Amino acid sequence: MCEKHGVSEELNYEIRKISQIIIKQNYFQGALYIQEEGLAMGAPTSSIFSEIYLKHIENTVISDILVKYHIVEYFLYADDSLIVYNKGTTNVYDVFNVSNNIMPTMKFTIEEEKENRINFLDIAILKEKDNISFDIYRKPTATYSIIPKDSCHPHEHKLAATRYLDNRMEIYNLNATNKEKENNTIKQILCNHKYDISILNKSTTTENKVKQNTSKTKWAKFTYVGKETKFITKLFKNTPLRIAFTTRNTVEKLLSKQQKHNQSKFDKY
């Protein structure tokens, strides 16, 4: 009886501690909310099932709506859609209302073009007199954060963030003015995180080398712990073997460590 009582107290303590952590890191307290419909938020399968369902709706219902209301172009990415239409033949609010009647629990919102501009994902589409131009769109809540230069991360991880920003600027069809503006924004982000802006050129050069050698190289995975790992992996610099880094600080390992720690407490009872 004493042993059971001891384990129960330990479990209750852990449950209370976890509950407090969850409550304090949420935006509401003092109430329980039960999800009655839809898929579990955060579950690995939810995004897959959502995509399957949206594709089904596209092929069985939305396709008919596009034809009926003379939609010129239709684009979908995840749960964001973009339609191009002629105001003379299409009332966009009719399309909006019909779409919201597809399923009672699935509701669309609408964002219209304003001042010849509309945002779709991370692209701003600007309608000019005889042309369409593009710009990079960042939400007002964007933090402009990347891995700081003085962070204990592999140099390759730090380059990845810069490479993404640079590649996006080059791949999107930006005009000269918007491209220069985005280039200045990237440089400012780098300066804010203590980087030398010359890293932009190094990032591009490194990526080109990787593309050229991809077909004849092999990869090895190292757990990154600091300068020691870097010293070891430099030995492979002039070999066909390329290095990828992983971290020990994963959710799986943290939970496993916590479980072992809790089990050692239970063993005392």
pLDDT at 3 over 50: no
What pLDDT was estimated at residue 224? 81
Instruction: Encode pLDDT of 100-151 as tens digits.
Output: 888 878 888 888 888 889 999 889 998 888 888 899 999 888 888 888 888 8
What pLDDT was estimated at residue 181? 92
> Rounded to whole angstroms, what are the CA distances from 47 to 39, 51, 52, 120, 209?
9, 6, 9, 20, 35
Task: Decide: residue 203, CB within 10 A, 0-12 exposed, 13-18 middle, 19+ buried.
Answer: buried
> Residues 9-13: contacts with CB within 8 Å, 24+ apart?
10/262, 10/265, 10/266, 10/269
Out of 12-16, 26-30, 199-203, 222-226, the most confident range is 222-226
Q: Whole-model pTM above 0.85?
A: no
Phi, psi of 8 (to 5 degrees): -60, -45
What pLDDT was estimated at residue 4? 41
